[in-house]
């Protein structure tokens, strides 16, 4: 049976989205990699998302995420906005709640194809990231480069349902630097489950310029959970206000780390690209 999918993106971070109510979807890692592969028969995406029927009262759906390497992941911020938009479109509502392996998330309309998502509270304890050993996650003992002149050092660590490490840099880094350093840090022994690697330049107290190497996906146009993690890490260091614009080369997200309840609130755009059918290779 050929399954229908939606191709969507949030700031260029792109997704293949599949609803499973009428077409069950339990892919193998090889099938995810086949879908995510760009060119040569694949559709091409950073993540694959399945929207399942709800498993708990008060939720509109249960949502699963896979990185392009075939591994299931706990959260995807830009993908979460896309899911929230789809659920609101199908229900005619302006607010929606849905569950993930990382917990319940909520979204609401903020404008034309503009969605605000409550990403919940960040995990800040060392064993919530998780790290291999106990450390203060405001600034962990990690550096890349010569010991007396490191290229980057003392990053902050945050879990947004998936693990993030955020290096603060004096100027925006190049794609080559992000690839080289990010690929090294992603599998560092300090991070037993791997880690998403952010490079954050503080342009002003309300403006972060960010590039993210995503665990299992590589360098992507934008990363919603990475933007959330960068803002939380920056606020913890006293570098930004509670609300800031997080800028990627592909666009801007607004992130608030709310003081009242410690929830992280993300607002940004969604784009519907096209509808298609999964290739038979990917659904065998």
Confidence of residue 284 (pLDDT cuts 50, 70, 90): very low
pLDDT digits (tens, 9 = 90+) for 224-269: 999 999 999 999 999 999 999 999 999 999 999 999 999 999 999 9
Residue 283's pLDDT is 45
* pLDDT (average), residues 15-42: 90
Based on the residue annotation, tell me whether 76 is a catalytic residue of this protein.
Answer: yes
CATH of 143-262, one of 3.40.605.10, 3.30.565.10, 3.40.50.300, 3.10.310.10: 3.10.310.10
**Mean pLDDT of the residues in the chain:** 94
Residue 135's pLDDT is 96
Residue 69's pLDDT is 93
- What sections of 132-223 are H helices per DSSP? 175-186
* Percent of the chain with pLDDT strictly greater than 70: 98
> Does 9 score more than 90 pLDDT?
yes
Residue 223's pLDDT is 94
Residue 76's pLDDT is 84
* pLDDT (average), residues 215-225: 92
Residue 199's pLDDT is 98
Give the end-to-end CA distance of the chain in Å, rounded to a whole number. 9
Confidence of residue 1 (pLDDT cuts 50, 70, 90): low
Interacting residues of 72 by C-beta distance below 8 A, sequence separation 6+:
64, 65, 66, 101
Looking at the DSSP bridge assignments, the partners of residue 272 are 8
CB 98 within 8 A of CB 245: no
Based on the residue annotation, tell me whether 157 is a catalytic residue of this protein.
Answer: no
| CA-based radius of gyration for the chain | 18
pLDDT digits (tens, 9 = 90+) for 174-217: 999 999 999 999 999 999 999 999 999 999 999 999 999 999 88
- pTM comes to 0.91
Considering 45, 76, 157, 228, which one is annotated as catalytic? 76
Confidence of residue 22 (pLDDT cuts 50, 70, 90): confident
pLDDT digits (tens, 9 = 90+) for 42-82: 799 999 999 999 999 999 999 999 999 999 988 788 999 99
Tokens in use for 37?
A: 């592969």
Considering 45, 157, 223, 228, which one is annotated as catalytic? 223
Residue ranges per domain, the chain? 4-119+270-283, 143-262
> Does 39 score more than 90 pLDDT?
no
Class of domain 4-119+270-283: alpha beta
Q: Do 4-119+270-283 and 143-262 show the same overall fold?
A: yes
Interacting residues of 157 by C-beta distance below 8 A, sequence separation 6+:
126, 129, 131, 135, 137, 140, 163, 164, 165, 166, 195, 233
pLDDT digits (tens, 9 = 90+) for 160-172: 999 999 999 999 9
Interacting residues of 68 by C-beta distance below 8 A, sequence separation 6+:
32, 33, 36, 37, 45, 46, 47, 48, 216, 217, 218
């Amino acid at each position: 049976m050929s399954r229908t999918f939606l191709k969507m993106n949030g700031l260029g971070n792109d997704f293949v989205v599949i609803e499973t109510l009428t077409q069950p979807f339990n892919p193998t890692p090889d099938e995810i990699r086949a879908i995510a592969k760009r060119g040569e028969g694949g559709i091409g995406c950073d993540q694959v998302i399945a929207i399942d029927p709800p498993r708990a009262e008060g939720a509109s759906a249960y949502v699963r995420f896979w990185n392009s390497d075939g591994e299931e992941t706990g959260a995807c911020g830009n993908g979460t906005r896309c899911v929230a938009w789809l659920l609101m479109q199908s229900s005619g509502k302006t607010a929606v709640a849905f569950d993930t392996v990382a917990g319940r998330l909520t979204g609401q309309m903020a404008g034309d194809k503009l969605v605000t998502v409550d990403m919940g509270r960040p995990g800040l304890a060392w064993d919530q990231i998780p790290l291999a050993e106990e450390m203060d996650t405001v600034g962990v003992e990690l550096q890349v480069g010569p010991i007396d002149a490191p290229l980057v050092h003392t990053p902050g660590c945050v879990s947004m349902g998936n693990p993030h490490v955020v290096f603060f840099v004096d100027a925006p880094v190049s794609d080559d630097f992000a690839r080289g350093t990010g690929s090294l840090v992603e599998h560092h022994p300090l991070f037993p489950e791997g880690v998403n690697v952010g490079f954050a330049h503080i342009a002003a107290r309300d403006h972060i310029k960010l590039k993210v190497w995503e665990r299992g996906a590589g360098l992507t146009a934008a990363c919603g959970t990475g933007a959330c993690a960068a803002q939380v890490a920056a606020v913890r260091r006293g570098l930004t206000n509670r609300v800031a614009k997080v800028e990627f080369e592909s666009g801007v997200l607004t992130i608030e780390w709310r003081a009242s309840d410690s929830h992280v609130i993300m607002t940004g755009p969604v784009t519907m690209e096209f509808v298609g059918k999964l290739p038979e290779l990917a659904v065998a």
